[in-house]
Amino acid sequence: MRTPARDGGWRISCSPGGTPTCMAVSISPILPMSIPTLARIWRSFSPISPARRMSSTPTTTAAKSKRSSNAGGRNIMIERRRHKKTVAIDDSILVRAEELDALDAILPLARRDQLATLLTDDDVETLKHLANQGMGANTLRALASDLGYLEAWCELSIGTPLPWPAPEALLLKFVAHHLWDPVARTENPDHGIPAEVEMGLRRQGLLRVDGPHAPDTVRRRLTSWSILTRWRGLTGAFSAPSLKSALRLAVSASARPRQRKSKRAITGDILTKLLATCAGDRLVDLRDRALLLTAFASGGRRRSEVAGLRVEDLVDEEPVHTDPKNAASPLLPCLTIHLGRTKTTTAEDRAHAVLIGRPVAALKQWLAAAKIDTGPVFRRIDQWGNIDLLALTPQSVNLILKARCKQAGLNPEAFSAHGLRSGYLTEAANRGIPLPEAMQQSLHKSITQAASYYNNAERKNGRAARLVV
């Protein structure tokens, strides 16, 4: 039957081994279902045994796959309303998608399905091994993203999956494709990344920016490549003098200035404007107010740390005096946030931050109104005011901040969640708080990184920049 489901859902038709099979599956059309996801739904209802599924005769398209030589294949026809799409799905892709489901706490659904089409079986096993070894979620997420990009780039560039270990020539090619001189490209279209490789990456949604890559992005992907090579027990050419020299020269030629994660720091005055947008008593206002105050006052927490905060991480402490030196000063509520694993600490470090005063009150007001006594602290709220059981994602934290910036009349493009972190140290510098004291709260490991915010504040507040005004 070729008409779509009446409820607006998807209809999946499959012809395994030449025998047509049709099944209607009702799926909400607003869900971001990818083809591997839909195909896996079909498999869950399929009467074909797993053994037969893996040994079925490959289709022409599946036979061309360089990922798995013995994988079966099938043509999947997916219909929604008047739109039909027929594609050949390699069984090995479906198997990899199911294997990646084990990393559902780290990789979002749409990303898992995309990676299933990009990675090899060995790649997936490596990622699962790293997850079992206790690697941080953010680190593993970055490795998976970089690995997916590298596999796609290699397939488009040399026509094969990523070799292990990568030869020195391939590493140099990667640098040449991603760090190039925009001026030279106007004179020579063949300079830099080939047009067909660039278009292929754009079609897969892996390349969105124009021009050369940011040097930090290229360095990070090379570092990920090196880490994954070592985890396979191999030695690559990542320390080769030619690669270091090429990278240094390419960075100079690309002439792309380093961009801050947030163009502007969210200092105290900006935070006040953001809090004014969520001064109401709606659940979303209570949540966002608690989120902003907690993230800022606890040392400028990273968005992943804010999203991962759980009620079990909060410990009530004895109230403290407004003025620590005056025992007669009013008392303020106080609690400790146990952060566990962060970007720069492990669970064994017992990293924690302290909240005092208004942030504590806002946090407790939100938890009481939302009736949350266990699990994630900050959760999604739908348009009807229903509170989800799952935590906000790090990306959602960023989007909430940008939405509040827009409501406050600020340019959301100039701010990101990282602005809370840089803003905390900048505000501490503006108020004359010693750097070591601020670092105890922010948990910065690098004095150089933390001091950069202090140096910027001192330049703006000092006399050296005011010789001619």
pLDDT along the chain (469 residues), means of 10: 39 45 41 47 44 36 35 44 47 59 52 66 74 70 88 93 92 91 83 92 88 88 92 88 87 61 82 96 96 94 91 93 90 90 57 91 96 95 91 92 96 91 89 86 80 73 70
Q: Are residues 429 and 282 in the same domain?
A: yes
Q: Are residues 146 and 223 in the same domain?
A: yes
Q: Got the DSSP string for 105-136? A: TTS-HHHHHHHHHHS-HHHHHHHHHHHHTT--
- In a domain, residue 430? The reply is yes
Parent domain of 43: 1-103
Q: Are residues 36 and 161 in the same domain?
A: no
**In this structure, what CATH number is given to the domain that contains residue 375?**
1.10.443.10
For 324, 431, 456, the CA distances from 321, given in Å and listed in that order, are 5, 20, 32
Q: What is the CA radius of gyration of the chain?
A: 26
DSSP 282: S
Q: Examine the fold and report which residue of 103, 132, 167 is the final residue of a domain before the chain moves on.
A: 103
Does an H or E element contain 229, and which? helix 215-231
Q: Are residues 418 and 341 in the same domain?
A: yes
Q: With CA atoms as reference, report the closest residue to 147 among 125, 168, 132.
A: 125
pLDDT at 64: 34
- In a domain, residue 114? The reply is no
Q: Are residues 287 and 255 in the same domain?
A: no
Does an H or E element contain 148, and which? helix 137-158
Q: Are residues 315 and 443 in the same domain?
A: yes
DSSP 376: B
Does an H or E element contain 368, and which? helix 358-370
- In a domain, residue 110? The reply is no
CA atoms within 13 A on the CB side of 156: 23
Total of domains in the chain: 3
Q: How far is 135 from 105, CA to CA, in rounded Å?
A: 13
Q: Examine the fold and report which residue of 79, 103, 127 is the final residue of a domain before the chain moves on.
A: 103
Q: Examine the fold and report which residue of 58, 73, 103 is the final residue of a domain before the chain moves on.
A: 103
**In this structure, what CATH number is given to the domain that contains residue 247?**
1.10.150
Q: How far is 142 from 150, CA to CA, in rounded Å?
A: 12
Q: Does the model's pTM come out above 0.85?
A: no
Q: How far is 18 from 59, CA to CA, in rounded Å?
A: 9
- In a domain, residue 466? The reply is no
Q: How far is 406 from 245, CA to CA, in rounded Å?
A: 44
Write phi, then psi, for 353 (nearest 5 degrees). -130, 160
Q: How far is 100 from 119, CA to CA, in rounded Å?
A: 10
